[in-house]
Chains A and B, each alone.
Chain A
């Protein structure tokens, strides 16, 4: 006779309500895990998207994702001529706000040269850029769909295709323009004083620049050796893809990552305390019954089983509800919630340990109950 099951069945409504509460808590824990993963993944996606081996950036900078980097437009030709470089392309990055359907849409604009490195990898709907101007490919998170038009700077662009999971470390979804359009947009969005100077033809103010030049190397070419060559050039530096990813993780998203990680830790602690309190309260409510069980001769293992099994059932059902809920609502979050099977497994392990530890408090209280309590004296 399984006493834990009988007790749960007897108090089914209360058990379901408790599981629901715990499930909501698990949803928040899983959401935090997903946001944490999403933050890291998004940050890496944007740097992995161009599929580059080398990033040529302005000297003494950490590249376009960490700080402002400007390199001359013609750098791409110089990089393309380097031994071991298979392909090269110029790329720009900037964040803009554009009005769309009565709201301000914050976009991460990536300008690239059509037919060269840096463009969108997989178009999930529509097509890639074909015209030289005024077309864009947007991340689906922007809410734009093919055929929509949107004004960026002083020009109206037509959405021709969609990509997925391409956003910067701040969570702003990306749009891809031709490099020429992106550079014009950059100029249009310059501070007014700079624009006046440019209109007057001031030297140095109108020179076209890009954020970085990216290069794909031939097979078996060591990226570090190519990077070392570039580092010898004046005003330029180079980062390998691994270095670029490392900068993103350790520098750009590090604080946000730690913040979410800390919050996740706090949430898990709160969950553990809540589970412990629920189990302890459930046990305390049954002390007279436990005393009766002891009095009629039930061994400790029967009483421990009653508490531990209920604790595990509570944790398991709460976790399943949490998983079901987060899978249902994860796409409604403004930032990407990326859940891997390993997260569910890790949380299962944590909940298992928490439930066993939490039930320890209840078991301790139950084992201390004097069977004489059942007699009322």
Chain B
């Protein structure tokens, strides 16, 4: 397995407010996640799990520290790239708790959209999207609208969308929360397989006890600090 560091966080902190009302969501946090690794962050509500996910996803600014993604230093007390959305499009895939499929696009178009945003032609995007849906065994439901998909099908379409541009980082926010044990196991198995095949790392936020044994490493966030 390629042990190249994909996500490298050094001394990252995030504060909200100031003075007496200041809240330290993250304190001097270091984290390295390697290619092929599937890691989970655990912690009670309000411990900063989502804040860390948002920082790695280039959605919110850290208050201090450095963030490197796929070998590129992207934050060093300020964002070093102006086009953060393009960075997300190229390097990061998101899997949401509630799948967040676009309701007015069918399954294949939800996946193709990301590819078209990245510059693929309609034909290329459709072909690649179908390939991913077939791989995730939801090909027969490609023309179904999200409202007509079961929870498991919708989550697999969401995974296909996250994988569409072959990102090196997949951020998953409670990816199995809406699934039963069997489906959760299948999804985690799939994520592990994809991480290995695509040389990507998967960072998940989860409370789901039934999938804890499917992660390579578990991190606990307590009072804004990370403990392995």
Contacts and interface: CB of A to CB of B under 8 A. Distances in A.
Q: What secondary structure prevails in chain A residues at the interface with B?
A: helix
A288 interface: yes
Interface string B167-209: 0000001000000000000000000000000000000000000
Contacts of A377: 50-51, 53-54, 173
A295 B104 contact: no
A299 B173 CA distance: 23
Nearest to A293: B102
A10 B173 contact: no
B33 interface: no
A296 B114 contact: yes
A149 interface: no
B226 to A, nearest CB: 18
A255 interface: no
Given A296-B89, A296-B161, A375 B59 contact: yes
B105 A297 contact: no
Nearest to A9: B104
Interface string B109-151: 1001110111000100000000000000000000001000000
| Residue from the set A288, A292, A297, A375 with the largest chain B CB neighbour count within 10 Å | A297
Interface string A1-42: 101001101110000000000000000000000000000000
B23 interface: no
A151 interface: no
The interface size bin for chain B is: 20 to 34
Contacts of B75: none
Contacts of B57: 295, 375
A374 B122 contact: no
B145 A294 contact: no
A178 B102 CA distance: 76
| Residue from the set B88, B89, B94, B102 with the largest chain A CB neighbour count within 10 Å | B102
Given A1-B109, A377-B50, 20 more contacts: A1-B112, A3-B105, A6-B105, A10-B145, A11-B104, A289-B102, A294-B85, A295-B59, A296-B89, A296-B94, A296-B161, A297-B85, A297-B89, A297-B114, A298-B117, A372-B59, A372-B60, A375-B50, A376-B97, A376-B173
Interface of B: 50-51, 53-54, 57, 59-60, 85-86, 88-90, 94, 96-98, 100, 102-105, 109, 112-114, 116-118, 122, 145, 161, 173
Q: Which 8 A-B pairs have the closest CB atoms?
A: A297-B89, A10-B104, A377-B50, A7-B104, A292-B100, A297-B88, A297-B85, A372-B59
22 contacts: A1-B112, A3-B102, A3-B105, A3-B113, A6-B104, A6-B105, A9-B104, A288-B100, A289-B100, A296-B88, A296-B114, A296-B117, A297-B86, A297-B117, A298-B85, A302-B117, A370-B59, A372-B50, A374-B96, A375-B173, A377-B54, A377-B173
Interface of A: 1, 3, 6-7, 9-11, 288-289, 292-299, 302, 370-372, 374-377
